[in-house]
Amino acid sequence: MTNDSSIAKIAAILRKEAETRKPGDRLTSSREIMRRHGVSPITVSRALGQLTAEGRVITRPGSGAYVAHPPAHMMDTADLSWQTVALGDRVVDDSAVAALLTPPPDGVIPLTGGYLNPAISPHKQLAAAASRAVRRPDAWTMPPLNGLAELRRWFAAEAGGDVTAADALVVSGGQAALTHAFRALAAPGTPVLVETPTYPGALAAAKAAGLRATAVPTDSDGVRPDLLAEAFAVTGARVFYCQPTLSNPTGATLTHERRQQVLQVVRAAGAFLIEDDFARYLTADPPTPMVAMDPHGTVVHINSLTKVLAPSLRLAAVIARGPAAHRLRAAQLVESFFVARPLQETALEFTGSPAWRRHLTTLHAEITTRRDALATALAARLPEAEVELIPRGGLHLWVRLPPYVNEHALVEAAQRHGVLVSPGRMYYPSEPPGPRIRVTHIAVTHLPELAEGVRRLAQALANTS
């Protein structure tokens, strides 16, 4: 993670520079600031973001940062400190999510991120599907509040079992689904159980909902049912968040037997299991979803199309039954009404076309090639580090570093060497067991770039050891 004091230091330097220049003047380039002060691209980006929020600077992508023209009615920065008292102490921490979504600067290799490189994403086919979708006579009319019936039927069929279209609710992407689920299923101030390590976006959404995330340890087969039962008994929690297939960041997948054990534990606790099935389409052989094994309404299932297709296709489904389903639909309605119909129609067009299966076949082969290339490069260049698991799909490898390595220092050094990796610390709701990093293979354009990124990472490790 980026050090707050470094951000403040760079912000102060740029603030002083802006004060000495005229409106419209260009500030020192980000690359030069990184070179002079030995800071990362993310540090510079966040410092500029701070000055942009203050109204001192405007940024132009691909061009740089410029001194802003002050508003005519306010030449000095207004004192907004009164808001601190009015807002209270409930802070929404977006740092982990922002770090994962921030595009890399020019020349920096992204071994982090959660979306397909544009060269792999089926942009042309999506554009064709969108073109067909918006030509439908009712494309711009209001859709059913819980989503188009055809799309809900499609998500229900993907879930399997006795799930029906009536159980599905279309929402604006997996992250929105998590937000709705946490707020609907648990009261502020109560605990929620999570795998450890786990997806930082889930931790951020739970915290924003006022929940206390409690860690449940995992092994190479996913969450441990014995420790899950103990955690329910100790905390009294009524919600467990789980990624049973290709868990982010470890890549672990629950076996069929363990899925049954986990379901039994959650049901015995009288709790809900939020099944985040984000990686369903990132493997050629996805297991049966836990919702298809659950006749009791224990599982609230989330399936998203965003990761497998494109970041801007913000579309997912939440599958639930009983009062929980009613509460989820009410939450969706009061927060955002419904998902835009053209987006739903586009998803229907694409998943109903031959392009959908062709894309999955191509993607699965690409994932296997990249995963193996990344694992081979790490073994050759970083023999002292250990890939804990070679997953059967997914986008990442979870790497255990030698205990003497300072994880934060390595991530910062890697950024200075021109490669971005994700620090392991942000995947833990409590103290991590040791230094780790998550390394992603899907964000680079091609395999040589992947190999070069690992070479730079090895250089950074050598300089911090």
395 and 274 inside one domain: no
pLDDT at 74 > cutoff 60: no
C-alpha dihedral (382, 387, 391, 395), degrees to nearest 10: -50
The predicted structure's pLDDT at residue 1: 42
Range with top average pLDDT, 80-94, 326-340, 375-389: 375-389
Domain boundary residue among 65, 87, 109?
Answer: 87
pLDDT tens digits, 397-434 = 999 999 999 999 999 999 999 999 999 999 999 888 99
Asked whether 178 and 325 are in contact (CB, 8 A), the reply is no
Asked whether 420 and 452 are in contact (CB, 8 A), the reply is no
115 and 127 inside one domain: no
51-65, 159-173, 326-340: segment of lowest average pLDDT = 51-65
Give the domain CATH number at 82. 1.10.10.10
Residue with structure tokens 């490189």?
117
Give the domain CATH number at 432. 3.90.1150.10
Range of the domain at 53: 4-87
Average pLDDT, integer, range 435-464: 94
The predicted structure's pLDDT at residue 229: 97
The predicted structure's pLDDT at residue 45: 85
pLDDT at 72 > cutoff 80: no
171 and 273 inside one domain: yes
pLDDT tens digits, 262-274 = 999 999 999 999 9
111 and 200 inside one domain: no
Write down the mean pLDDT value for the chain.
91
Q: Is 156 helix (H, G, I), strand (E, B) or coil?
A: helix
342 and 415 inside one domain: no
Which pair of tokens denotes residue 58?
A: 């405007």
221 and 283 inside one domain: yes
325 and 189 inside one domain: yes
Predicted confidence band at 73 (pLDDT cuts at 50, 70, 90)?
low
- Number of domains within the chain: 3
**Rounded to an integer, what distance in angstroms lies between the CA atom of residue 7 and that of residue 19?**
18
The edge-to-edge listing of strands for the beta sheet with 272-276 is 168-171, 316-319, 299-304, 272-276, 239-242, 191-196, 212-219, 222-223
pLDDT at 9 > cutoff 80: yes
Among 283, 282, 280, residue whose Cα is nearest residue 292: 280
Q: What percent of the chain is modeled with pLDDT above 70?
A: 97
pLDDT tens digits, 174-205 = 999 999 999 999 999 999 999 999 999 999 99
Predicted confidence band at 76 (pLDDT cuts at 50, 70, 90)?
low
375 and 306 inside one domain: no
8 and 46 inside one domain: yes
Average pLDDT, integer, range 283-288: 94
159 and 15 inside one domain: no
367 and 346 inside one domain: no
Domain boundary residue among 317, 352, 387?
Answer: 352
* Alpha-carbon distance values, 312 to 21, 304, 396 (Å): 38, 12, 21
171 and 212 inside one domain: yes
Give the domain CATH number at 274. 3.40.640.10
Among 391, 394, 382, 390, residue whose Cα is nearest residue 435: 382
Q: Is 361 left (phi over 0), alpha (psi -120 to 50) or beta?
A: alpha
